[in-house]
Amino acid sequence: AAMYSGAAAGPPRRDFISVTLGPEDAVGVSGYNNSKAWRRRSCWRKWKQLSRLQRSIILFLFAFLAVCGVISYTSMGEAWKSITNKSLDDQRTEQEIRRLKLANPAVLPAPQKADANHGDYPELSLQKPPKLPHVRRGPSNLQIKAPQRDMRLKTQHNTVRAVEELVEVDKVEKTEKSIISWRGAVIEPDQSTEPPSNKITEPEKPSSVEAEDQKEPVPINERQLAVIEAFRHAWKGYKDFAWGHDELKPLSKSYSEWFGLGLTLIDALDTMWILGLKEEFEEARKWVANDLVFDKNVDVNLFESTIRILGGLLSTYHLSGDSLFLEKAKDIGNRLMPAFKTPSKIPYSDVNIGRGTAHPPRWTSDSTVAEVTSIQLEFRELSRLTGDEKFQKAVDEVMKHVHTLSGKNDGLVPMFINTNSGQFTHLGVYTLGARADSYYEYLLKQWIQGGKKENGLLEDYMRAIEGVKKHLLQRSEPKKLTFVGELAHGHFSAKMDHLVCFLPGTLALGAHNGLAADHMKLAETLIETCYEMYAQVETGLSPEIVHFNLHAQKGHKDVEIKPADRHNLLRPETVESLFYMYRFTGDKKYQDWGWEILQNFNKYTRVPTGGYTSINNVQSPSNPEPRDKMESFFLGETLKYMFLLFSDDIDLINLDKYIFNTEAHPLPIWVPA
Ligand code: DMJ
């Protein structure tokens, strides 16, 4: 404005009137009293002083500004409206998030925790699903991701984005959930469509000792107490009348000798350990320490002394950890070795453990097939414990030799083998009973003992079971019980030894170890038959041998008994199989059947003054004709399997850690290197 002052000196021009307003303004400033009337008047005067052109321009400018104002008002109103609506939406979204959070509280951790431990929650589960073998199924996987979801909600101010992320996370979770169930369907072994017979599983590591130690002890139940009572009663008879001798004669209150090695006492050692009979065990241990001497001029049967004495000492060593039993096992093992000095390396049946000489029975140079092929578990274990491979070498050679022999019928073996030629003799007769039984049992059990690697053994076992199915299975009348008969030169005989009742248990053990599922089916059928061999008899006790009726006859049951076969020796095979069946199926009927059998032993074979006795006539409840002998396997096997059958503790001799020898002595399954 000061620049224009010089211009005011020229001719007066209306355009410069505004410049002359300065003094007025100055006056006005000095006399400023903020009066509205004064300002109105002054403005109007000034307006009047403007030219028409000036007034038109100003009016035009005002009109233009007014139009602009209206336009911008409209667009700002829209913007405002949208802002207002958006915040309402946001409020709803937050409610939705809260609702979602509450709907799934189990998988969401406490929010503070998520914030506080931001770094503790791994990112990987969202990005990378874990690899298949380590998949933890179901909620545990979701638990790992849940904190991220919550964390994001807490740390994001933009709720819209939070919702987007929530949807994304849910999508990932849904995908992962379905992946998990899909994986489950594929990897579940029981849903496998692969034929189980082709499945040779990797060696399983037995569960750790520490895990067992941490376990709560499972209390002993009523039925187990009844077994303990029965054992004590049997032991009382042995202690009172047969201490240190082979077998109790409970009626004559005396004893019988077979090898003169305290057979019952050694056979019963691990049973006492398992039943928790500490006092009795300690007393028996003292006898072993002070009185058990193998340096004796006595002939022993290789098989019987291996399964009862060597097997009993080895298992007691494993259970108790007491090296006394290992020393004794080494001693008897060494003394039995001369049996293998034969032209064929198929061992002789008898050994003089004092002289170190061996020989076949007087009437033949044959050995029994079951005998020479059922000493392997024990000798192999002795090698493992002593580091001396001679024991294992000797018995492995027998198995390898038998594996290659001709004379088998679809895996079924004859009953005799010659110690000179090494060939089977008496060809053409096939049974799963006496003289062949434990050959089949030990094929499977050696395979398991050695960590399921010796495929020759498995091959022979699988082939033999096919042979049983093809040649020896028939169904009886009227109950259509499946039984295992015998084959003699092409003729089927409906005869079945009680000894064959080991088979359901062995089949079940094989199925448990990954073999064909139809083996388990067969086991279930056969154990029913074995039970009927007791249930259909007047005393509820099985005879030594039964014949099954193949044709229905009025008034006849499935089971027929010949006078020469109606004795019962307190044998274990049926209770043994009941034990396996109960362990693998959990079906209580097997326990109930075993309970019936125990009660019938108590009713017909218990001798009041101590001990139990074999009987001559299972068909006569009024006079079962006691035989006056308690076999060592009644304490070594029958009562042990009863006790285990009634137990619900699968770690009481865990079948994935131990393998029972044919005299019920548990030996460890070798842990794979
Ligand atoms: C036991 O010595 C063994 O179980 C053997 O395998 C067969 N005979 C008796 C029991 O019956």
pLDDT in tens, 415-440: 999 999 999 999 999 999 999 999 99
The pocket around ligand 1, CB under 6 angstroms, is made up of 438, 499, 571-572, 633, 637, 662-663
568 CA to centre of ligand 1 in angstroms: 13
Active-site annotation holds for 437: yes
pLDDT digits (tens, 9 = 90+) for 52-76: 777 777 787 877 777 666 665 544 4
Q: Are 629 and 233 a contacting pair, CB within 8 Å?
A: no
Which residue from 267, 301, 371, 499 has its CB within 8 A of the most atoms of ligand 1, so it is best to mutate?
499
Q: Which atom of ligand 1 is nearest to the CA of 499?
A: 11
360-414 residue pLDDT tens = 999 999 999 999 999 999 999 999 999 999 999 999 999 999 999 999 999 999 9
- φ, ψ for residue 497 (rounded to 5)? -75, 150
What value does the mean pLDDT of the chain take? 79
What tens digit of pLDDT does each residue of 494-542 get? 999 999 999 999 999 999 999 999 999 999 999 999 999 999 999 999 9
| Active-site annotation holds for 466 | no
| Contact between residue 467 and residue 412 where contact means Cβ atoms under 8 Å apart | yes
In this structure, what CATH number is given to the domain that contains residue 533? Answer: 1.50.10.10
What is the model's pLDDT at position 20?
32
Cβ–Cβ < 8 Å for 470, 484: no
Contact 260, 632 (CB under 8 A): no
* 509 lies in some domain: yes
Q: Give mean pLDDT, residues 141-153.
A: 27
Would you say residue 23 lies in a domain?
no
Residue 463 has pLDDT above 60, yes or no: yes
DSSP reduced 3-state for 300: strand
Q: Does residue 8 lie in a domain region?
A: no
Q: Is there a binding annotation on residue 201? A: no
Per-residue pLDDT at 461: 98
Report how far residue 268's alpha carbon sits from residue 262's, in angstroms, rounded to the nearest whole number.
10
- Kindly report the protein residue whose alpha carbon is nearest to atom 3 of ligand 1: 663
Predicted local distance difference test score (pLDDT) of residue 267: 99
Asked whether residue 645 is assigned to any structural domain, the reply reads: yes
| Contact between residue 521 and residue 535 where contact means Cβ atoms under 8 Å apart | no
Average pLDDT value for residue range 25-45: 46
Task: Residue 656: give the domain boundaries.
Answer: 233-260+362-666
- Is the pLDDT reported for residue 241 higher than 70? yes
Whether 562 maps to a domain, the answer reads yes
* Sequence-ordered strand ranges (E) for 190-273: 247-249, 254-256
Considering the candidates 150, 544, 637, 663, report the single residue annotated as catalytic.
544
Who has greater pLDDT, 53 or 650?
Answer: 650
Count of structural domains, the chain = 1
Closest-CA residue, ligand 1 atom 1, reads: 663
DSSP, residue by residue, 473-516:
EEE-TTT--EEE-EEETTEEE-EEEGGGGGHHHHHHHHHHTT--
Instruction: Give the chain's largest Cα–Cα span.
Output: 166
Nearest CA to ligand 1 atom 8: 499
Contacts of 79 (CB under 8 A, 6+ apart): none
Under 8 Å between Cβ of 438 and 377: no
CB 100 within 8 A of CB 167: no
- Residue 356 within any structural domain of the chain: no
Q: Is residue 600 part of a domain?
A: yes
- Does residue 507 form part of some domain? yes
Q: How many CB atoms lie within 10 A of CB 672?
A: 13
**Per the residue annotation, which of 267, 280, 304, 637 is the catalytic one?**
304
